[in-house]
Structure 1
């Protein structure tokens, strides 16, 4: 495995490739994304540990979308079988993926815990879905401070786990090393990831403005349904693009590993 350094403009290519791959198989990729999110939502219903279990499933969901996007880019039809990719690659791969999920859940909850030191846990409760956001709450300096702190801390957490599922699946890298190589790749390719972030910010802003216009022209119920569907579609596109950043940041494996096949 060898790290690649790519020019900053590659970040925009990742955005474009993600959108193109999504529209090659829009129904399949949208359905897979919905199924992954639904599984995480169902996990939250488990008493006491539901939210932690849902967070632990995110690396597996990310890997599933990476596999599905790779297949769509190759002209293949991704099936729901990609959601079970970690189960089909041997007991040790499943163990490593579970370990990675637990590490992500612990890291995310640690971020929320640190933000709770600022505002007493109000932002954490809103973010995790346990409380409703009110205008008075949002205007509180402590709430805003907790929000910005969590955003600041979530960035390195995201970089640690960005490439980790792909490194474990395609390269057989163990969890801790996968986290290390992931953040190194992101830092060494900072320019590309900065442009990538700007590109997706632009996509979401354009989508938001279009939805605002639609909402002004249509009724509330119709607009709400369109907004929800569009938000899910944009999120699915974003997750579809992740595999292209992974492909360009690392030399391809010598042989395919698992259900995804090669990335090239």
Structure 2
């Protein structure tokens, strides 16, 4: 593994990689997205633990999208089975991935818990139980303050977890080492990540605006959600697949056989 530093402009190439993957295998890319949302919805149906389980599974699905993009870049299929490939890794790596999932869920819930200092737990209840916050929390700005606290706490968390799944599953690192290594790599390439995030934010915002304008032009009385949803699904596919571009750019490729499923392409 080689830890690289790249110019900020490379972040824009990561975005382009995601769209290139979508164009090369559109059906498989969209199936990955649909299966991902289906898995999240199914997990959230589990009583009490549904939301924490769906949060924890994010690390596995992130790795699945990375493996899918890696397959597409190599001309191999990227069917939804990539989400389960990590389970065919050596037992030690599987255990480390499951531990990583638990640590991620704890970290995100901790960030939401700290936001309770500002809003008395309104944001946390909204996230976990879909409990709409009281009018007071909206009127006095407490919910906005809670959101800001969550964002500030989550930023270093996201830096630590960005590369953690492939570092654990493909390079065989322990959880603590993977989190530390990921944080350092992202910190060394903040310019590239800033441009990467800014471009995706702009694209998703533009989709929202276009959907609203289209609904207004068609004089739809209902929400523009029906127009926006297909666009968001089309945009989410290259977004999720673009994760792998940063891995390849900053870490290189693991040894053949290190990544689960590489030897069993369909």
Equivalence for 1:243: 244
Question: CA offsets per residue over residues 110-158 of structure 1, 9 Å max, x none?
Answer: 0111001210111122234522368764343211110111111111111
Q: Distance in 2 between matches of 1:132 and 1:231?
A: 24
Given the two structures, how large is their TM-score scaled by the length of structure 2? 0.91
- For residues 19 and 244 of structure 1, the distance between their equivalents in structure 2, rounded to whole angstroms, comes to 11
Q: Is the 8 A contact 2:22 2:238 kept in 1?
A: yes
Q: Does 1:87 align with 2:70?
A: no
Aligned to 1:117: 117
Q: Partners of 2:223 and 2:121 in 1: how far apart?
A: 35
Q: Specify every segment of 5 or more residues in structure 1 that has no aligned partner in the other structure, as ranges.
A: none
Structure 1 vs Structure 2 CA RMSD = 2.0
Counterparts of 1:133 and 1:68 in 2: how far apart (Å)? 38
Give the secondary-structure state (helix, strand or coil) at the position aligned to 2:197: helix
1:26 maps onto 2:26 in alignment: yes
Distance 2:255 2:80 in 1: 26
Provide, for residues 36-57 of structure 1, a one-character-per-residue CA deviation record: whole Å limited to 9, x for no partner. 2221221122222221111110
Instruction: Give per-residue Cα distances to partners, 1:162-183, cap 9 Å, x unaligned.
Output: 0011112221112111111111
Does the aligned pair in 2 maintain the 1:59–1:165 contact within 8 Å? yes
Comparing 100-109 with 173-182, greater Cα deviation is found at 173-182
**How many equivalent residue pairs?**
262
Match of 2:212 in 1: 212
User: Residue 176 of structure 1 corresponds to which residue in structure 2?
Assistant: 176
Query: Where does 1:1-264 land on structure 2 (aligned, <5 Å)?
Result: 1-128=1-128, 130-132=130-132, 137-218=137-218, 219-220=220-221, 223-259=224-260, 261=262
**What is the distance in 2 between the residues matched to 1:13 and 1:173?**
27
Is the 2:122–2:133 contact (alpha carbons within 8 Å) kept by the matching residues of 1? no
SS of structure 1 residue aligned to 2:115: helix
Mapped partners of 1:220, 1:228: distance in 2 = 17
Is the CA contact (8 Å cut-off) linking 1:8 and 1:193 kept in structure 2?
Answer: yes
Q: Which piece of structure 1 moves more, 10-19 or 216-225?
A: 216-225
Bigger mean CA deviation after superposition, 5-14 or 161-170: 161-170
* Deviation of the 1:220 alpha carbon: 4.9
Q: Report deviation, 1:238.
A: 1.2
What is the CA–CA distance in structure 1 between the aligned matches of 2:260 and 2:86, rounded to whole Å? 9
Gaps of 5+ in 2: none
